[in-house]
Every structure is written in structure tokens, then in C-alpha cells.
Amino acid sequence: MSDAETAGASGCAGRFVWYELMTTDTAAARAFYGSVVGWRMHDAGMPGFEYTLLGTAAGDAGGLMEIPAEARAQGAQPGWIGYIAVDDVDAKTAAVSAAGGKVYREPADIPNVGRFSVVADPQGAVFSLFMGDGSGEMPDVPPGTPGHAGWRELHAGDWEAVFPFYAELFGWTKANSFDMGPMGTYQTFAVGGEPTGGMMTKPEGVPVPAWNYYFLVDGAEAALDRIKAAGGQVLNGPMQVPNDSWIVQGLDPQGAFFSLISHTR
């Protein structure tokens, strides 16, 4: 993580503040996302550890690394994970466990960055908890900036059953909801009054509950063409969503699921 992401969590507690791809081929993943999303990439400079920072001129947006051996031993496959800011990683990790969630990695320090843990909600969706060490400040990225996260979405086993877990843990509240017909209800959630993501009960074709992250691009159709040209697979889209944005969902060449969102088709 960059210095821009290492601020203490008190001003952004309960918000997703970082996005990380764990993959089996870091060089191939850098080439793919550099082409598709347009990220600038540079090494984080961690001694003895390869970690690539992904970002734009506005600041770093996420990171990329090889799947750690301990994660592979637990069956981890290529995929994105989001970091939620908290005021006390150890206390929140214990709260996850007490509420029926699972702890995949106990709280640990990242030198000169902060403290984190890897956990899952009671239905199995994995995410990370994070608190920075206070050595930097969060980047002030204007909403809608291409290359940065524009939405977060939980494909839950049962969103109504799991919502109280997140509400208790992070203070999330329900915002607007949308009737998707046979697919059920899409419930958005707010952090501090601002809608920032959504939840839905996963379709049958989605194998396990999981979080999904949308990165902003200029033009959904152009992004779809870049996905195909770079060797990825398009699963859905371009599709218009209720806020008049357009989304594309796909798999990168290593099999990691990802999503893109654009204000224009």
C-alpha cells in the first residue's frame, strides 16, 4: 500500500479504502489491467516482497501481489479483496469471530503501513480489516475519477440474513432498494449517510458468496473491447444499471472476477 493509504482509520472507519488483487501470474496481471483499466504501476519498495501499486495521477487505487503460500494452502484462487478501515483491527477481528464469521489471517503488522487481518462474514464472503499507522493521508480523489473504485457489491448467500452482521460491525445503514424481479431485491448500503455499495442474494450460477468491486473507466463498450483484446473473458455487459451508469463484468486471464463501471456506454 502507498503512503496515501496509510492514514489512521478514524476519519474513514467502515469504508472500503483499498483493493488488492492476489493472482498466480503478477506479470500477466499487470499487463492485463494496465491495458484494460489504464493503471500506472510501480513497485511498493517493500524489502524482500514484490507488491505492485496500481493507480492514476490522482493517487494509488489498489495493489497487486502473488497469492501467499498460506492462502494457497487454504484454497485461495486468483481474486480481488477489499480492505475496510477500522479503528481497532484486533477488536474488530474478534467481533467478526464472535458474530459467526471466520478469521483466515490473524491481525498482523505491515511495516511502515499499518495493521490488517483477513476475515469472512458468516456466509463466507472474504474481506480484510485495516488500520493505517498514521504515516500518510488518504488521497482526496474526486468521485467519478477513472481508475478508482466506483462501487462495491456483495453477492451474499442471503443478503437479508447477513446485513445485520455488517450493520453491527461497521455501522452501515440501508439506503435505496431496487426490485430485480426473479433475482430478488438489490439493497444499497450507506456509510455516514452516503450510499457506497450494494448487496444482493447471489444468483445460482455464482458458486460462493463474495464481494465484487467496480473500477471506473471511460466508456463501457471500449473497455469491453480492451478486455477481449487483452485475453480476458466478458461475462456480462455492457448493461445499464439504475443510476444510468453502464457496467461490464469479466474474468481476467488468471481467472479473477472483476467489474468495471462507466458513466457512458
- Quickly state the pLDDT bin for 62 (edges 50, 70, 90): very high
- For 15-132, CATH number? 3.10.180.10
Asked whether the beta carbons of 85 and 15 are under 8 A apart, the reply is yes
**Better-predicted residue by pLDDT, 100 or 206:** 100
Residue-wise pLDDT tens digits, 104-144: 999 999 888 899 999 999 999 999 999 987 655 556 677 77
Q: Could you tell me the pTM of the whole model?
A: 0.90
CB-count exposure of residue 69 (10 Å: 0-12, 13-18, 19+): exposed
User: Scanning the structure block, which residue is given the C-alpha cell 474478534?
Assistant: 94
Please provide the average confidence, as pLDDT, over all residues in the chain. Answer: 90
Could you tell me which residues are beta bridge partners of residue 110? 114
Mean pLDDT computed over 180-190: 92
Mean pLDDT computed over 200-223: 93
Q: Measured between alpha carbons, how far is 50 from 63 in angstroms, rounded to an integer?
A: 10
Asked whether the beta carbons of 131 and 92 are under 8 A apart, the reply is no
